Amino acid sequence: MAERFDLLVRGGLLIDGTGAPARPGDLGIRGGRIAAAGTVQGTADRVLDAGGAVVAPGFVDIHTHYDAQVFWDRMLTISPWHGVTSVVMGNCGFGVAPTRPAHRDLVLRTLESVEGMSLEALRAGIGAEWPFESFAEFLAAVERRGTAINAGALVGHTPVRLYVMGEEATEREATDEEIGQMRGLVRDALRAGALGFATSKSPTHVGWAGRPVPSRVASWHEIETLAGCLGEAAGGVMQATIGPGLFLDQFAAIQERTHRPVSWTALLGGMLGPDGHRAVLEQSAALQARGVLPQVSCRPLMVEFQLKAPFPLESMSVMKPVSQADLAGRRRLYADPEFRRALRERIDEGRIGAPFRDITITEHPPDPSVAERRLGDVAAERGVHPVDLALDLSLAADLETRFRMPILNTDPAIVAELLAHPATMIGLSDAGAHASQLCDACAPTELLGTWVRERGVLSLEEAVRRLTTQPAEVFGIADRGRLAPGLAADVTVFDPATVGCSPLRRVRDFPAGADRLVSDAHGIRAVVVNGVMIREDGRDAVDPEGPLPGRVLRGGRAA
Ligand SMILES: [Zn+2]
């Protein structure tokens, strides 16, 4: 008798996530699990024709910031558009639990800067009465609401520190007693199902009132002690964003103490000078076997700015008079032919030339048709120099025109080296963060389109491994990340000839009418979570208000 399945994915190219060669085959799914893979005979309630498409495990995005968004967007857009079926929240030590009611506003004001969302959007999105205080209650609240894709969370150093120290968390080192209390909270969170502990020392992480986020003020002793909870629990991963006093030596020490993996953020091209990544790769190769791995990204790191405060350009000496001028003086300089000539020359001869042409005009109120277009393209169309175009647009908009400029990870040769190195892992999509300024949640489709198909930097099998088995293993996500009978049926079906992502576009679909940037996917035929098809041919296949198949991954597992 022919076997009966809920869903049969027929006639695709199976790539199982382990790096093994692709092979033609079918996938039979029953009861939310993979029941058969290979040549599968049988019937099903639903047959999906995967002819010409790759059938892969659903992608795992280990670096997201959906901690707030999960309370108003059960689909966790836009991750599933790009084939993602499991996400990890709480990265960089942010997150929203544990939080005392009295500290809710401080947490939101921290997210306001680091997530790039308006305070009104966050307030309207989570509501005045939060459905949780402890980390365990947070996971339960996420579970009660339901999500389209699976979600796990790291416990964040910042909320833990704020919980114990209040506003002083941004001002001073903790006492031993306070560290003891924090340790109790981290232990509780791990027991409740946190995937690990996350922190940040990055000088770019600025919270309420321009103060450092709480984790940045912690002593090494505090970080080491809290990370030590992973060793006691004999489980979980440490995620850390590097900064002064927190880099490879410290990660090696934490790994030695805990015997747990450390996934750090991020190794980007150009970060430590033109060849700086090489030394870090060499050191990482030595630490790889111990599980200390840098996260790398296939997209350039962008910053958004306006010419009224042109900080990404101010390292050039030609910009010195601008730095010293007030706003009126800046306008005068931007209109001055002599200043323009000097800036054009500097841009044309220097290393900054290519990134400058790659600037995206993100917002230009007098002429929205140029929004989200490349500066170099619009300049070529109009037959002007990109410098003159940027200055003319800005002067016509009272210096309110917004630009997005790639500052790191811009050299494709270096990015290729980072992506292909065995001691790295893909991370830093920052999905859910920087919502109004950036969007890298599309990294999986960009990896498959640009770095596999167009540039041939990774084989399809290796790219899929890096999006599935590797992150699932490092983050302790059991039962997922591979196509094998018995495992959860998280599956992404994509067309290798067309998979990719679109340039960003701005939408206003967040609470209180707030805006964000999104990228559309191409070539993602179907996304299946725990056996349920949630996306098909670029559209939602489930009702976002109805029952959804995503599960909370406590300790890496669905209950
Ligand atoms: Zn982050």
437 CA to centre of ligand 1 in angstroms: 14
337 CA to centre of ligand 1 in angstroms: 42
**pLDDT at 231 (0 to 100):** 98
427 CA to centre of ligand 1 in angstroms: 9
**pLDDT at 115 (0 to 100):** 75
**pLDDT at 304 (0 to 100):** 87
Residue 72 to residues 76, 120, 540, Cα–Cα distance (Å): 9, 13, 17
207 CA to centre of ligand 1 in angstroms: 14
Structure tokens at 252: 């090696």
Taking the C-alpha atoms of residue 69 and residue 78, their distance in angstroms, rounded to an integer, is 11
506 CA to centre of ligand 1 in angstroms: 21
Omega within 30 of 0 (cis) for the link into 478: no
258 CA to centre of ligand 1 in angstroms: 23
Residues with a beta carbon under 5 angstroms from ion ligand 1: 91-92, 430
**pLDDT at 1 (0 to 100):** 57
Maximum distance among all alpha carbons in the chain? Answer: 84
266 CA to centre of ligand 1 in angstroms: 9
**pLDDT at 130 (0 to 100):** 96
Q: What is the C-alpha R_g of the chain?
A: 24
* The residue to which tokens 């599960």 are assigned: 551
Question: Looking at this protein, which amino acid is placed at residue 544?
Answer: P
425 CA to centre of ligand 1 in angstroms: 15
Name 59's bridge partners. Answer: 84
428 CA to centre of ligand 1 in angstroms: 6
**pLDDT at 354 (0 to 100):** 76
401 CA to centre of ligand 1 in angstroms: 27
Q: What is the β-pairing status of strands 84-89 and 59-61?
A: parallel
Structure tokens at 115: 């997530």
**pLDDT at 92 (0 to 100):** 96
Taking the C-alpha atoms of residue 473 and residue 481, their distance in angstroms, rounded to an integer, is 8
368 CA to centre of ligand 1 in angstroms: 30
Characterise 53 by phi-psi region: left (phi > 0), alpha (psi -120 to 50), beta (else).
beta
SS3 164: helix
131 CA to centre of ligand 1 in angstroms: 24
523 CA to centre of ligand 1 in angstroms: 27
205 CA to centre of ligand 1 in angstroms: 9
**pLDDT at 559 (0 to 100):** 82
- Residue 408 sits at φ, ψ, to 5 deg, of -135, 165
243 CA to centre of ligand 1 in angstroms: 13
153 CA to centre of ligand 1 in angstroms: 13
The helix, strand and coil proportions of the chain, stated in percent and rounded to the nearest 5, come to 40, 25, 40
117 CA to centre of ligand 1 in angstroms: 14
Name 64's bridge partners. Answer: 431
> What angle is formed at CA 450 by the lines to CA 444 and CA 455, rounded to 5 degrees?
135
**pLDDT at 116 (0 to 100):** 76
Question: Looking at this protein, which amino acid is placed at residue 439?
Answer: C
63 CA to centre of ligand 1 in angstroms: 6
**pLDDT at 208 (0 to 100):** 86
pLDDT < 50 regions, the chain: none
**pLDDT at 524 (0 to 100):** 98
Structure tokens at 265: 């953020």
Residue 370 to residues 259, 381, 389, 502, Cα–Cα distance (Å): 52, 11, 11, 16
Cβ proximity of 317 and 352 under 8 Å: no
60 CA to centre of ligand 1 in angstroms: 15
- Tens digit of pLDDT for each residue in 402-461? 999 998 999 999 999 999 999 999 999 999 988 888 999 999 999 999 999 999 999 999
First to last CA, the chain: 33
Taking the C-alpha atoms of residue 68 and residue 543, their distance in angstroms, rounded to an integer, is 21
381 CA to centre of ligand 1 in angstroms: 37
Decide: residue 94, CB within 10 A, 0-12 exposed, 13-18 middle, 19+ buried.
buried
405 CA to centre of ligand 1 in angstroms: 19
